[in-house]
């Protein structure tokens, strides 16, 4: 009987620990990623993102075309409507309790594709991909992209994963 209680208690501790660890993954924002991902020697991923469509996704919602689409759908302001900002901003798609320092205006930031960075942001963790994956990092897949790039979007035409990811590529250079 005592062995059964100890086993049950151990399982409860493991489950609670896993739940607590999962809750610790917070969104830190592109500015925090920038600290390491702006150097040409390591790929300058931040500036690649900044020049691409994701960084300006919230600005798109403030444009005339977005306002027209919103009006047709009965949306008063696409820059504040949850249906719009959920795909145009990382912050608009996450639970507010998980936001450490990401901002709405950064648009679709690094963490929309790579997962909340609070636990894997350190250089020592990032050097070992398997370790970063246990700390909340995700690898972008077609499924991740199709969370937003799908036929529910009012401007969706088609989505070719290989073609689109080539347009936003920001690889780490060979060592």
In a domain, 8, yes or no: no
For residue 1, the model assigns a pLDDT of 56
In a domain, 4, yes or no: no
Cβ proximity of 159 and 146 under 8 Å: yes
Count of structural domains within the chain: 1
For residue 18, the model assigns a pLDDT of 41
Q: What is the mean pLDDT of residues 145-153?
A: 95
The CATH number of residue 91's host domain is: 1.10.1130.10
In a domain, 118, yes or no: yes
Cβ proximity of 125 and 118 under 8 Å: no
Q: What is the mean pLDDT of residues 62-81?
A: 96
For residue 10, the model assigns a pLDDT of 41
In a domain, 124, yes or no: yes
Structural domain including 123 reads: 21-167
Question: Which long-range contacts (C-beta less than 8 Å, at least 24 apart) are formed by 86-90?
Answer: 86/148, 87/57, 87/147, 87/148, 87/153, 88/57, 88/58, 88/60, 88/61, 89/57, 89/58, 90/27, 90/29
Cβ proximity of 61 and 53 under 8 Å: no
User: If you average pLDDT over every residue of the chain, what do you get?
Assistant: 88
In a domain, 136, yes or no: yes
CA atoms of 121 and 162, how far apart (whole Å): 27
In a domain, 3, yes or no: no
In a domain, 129, yes or no: yes
Question: Over the stretch 93-113, which tens digit does the pLDDT of each residue have?
Answer: 999 999 999 999 999 999 999
In a domain, 68, yes or no: yes
- Give the bridge partners for 27, in sequence order: 99
């Amino acid at each position: 009987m005592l062995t059964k209680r100890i086993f049950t208690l151990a399982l409860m501790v493991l489950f609670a620990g896993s739940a607590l660890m999962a809750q610790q993954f917070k969104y830190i924002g592109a500015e925090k990623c920038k600290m390491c991902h702006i150097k040409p020697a390591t790929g300058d991923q931040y500036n690649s993102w900044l020049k691409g469509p994701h960084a300006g996704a919230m600005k798109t919602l403030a444009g005339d075309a977005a306002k027209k689409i919103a009006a047709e759908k009965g949306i008063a302001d696409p820059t504040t409507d949850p249906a719009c900002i959920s795909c145009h901003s990382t912050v608009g798609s996450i639970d507010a309790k998980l936001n450490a320092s990401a901002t709405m205006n950064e648009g679709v930031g690094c963490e929309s594709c790579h997962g909340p960075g609070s636990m894997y942001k350190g250089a020592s963790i990032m050097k070992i991909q398997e370790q970063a994956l246990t700390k909340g990092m995700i690898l972008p897949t077609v499924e991740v992209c199709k969370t937003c790039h799908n036929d529910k979007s009012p401007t969706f035409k088609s989505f070719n994963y290989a073609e689109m990811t080539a347009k936003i590529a920001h690889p780490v250079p060979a060592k």
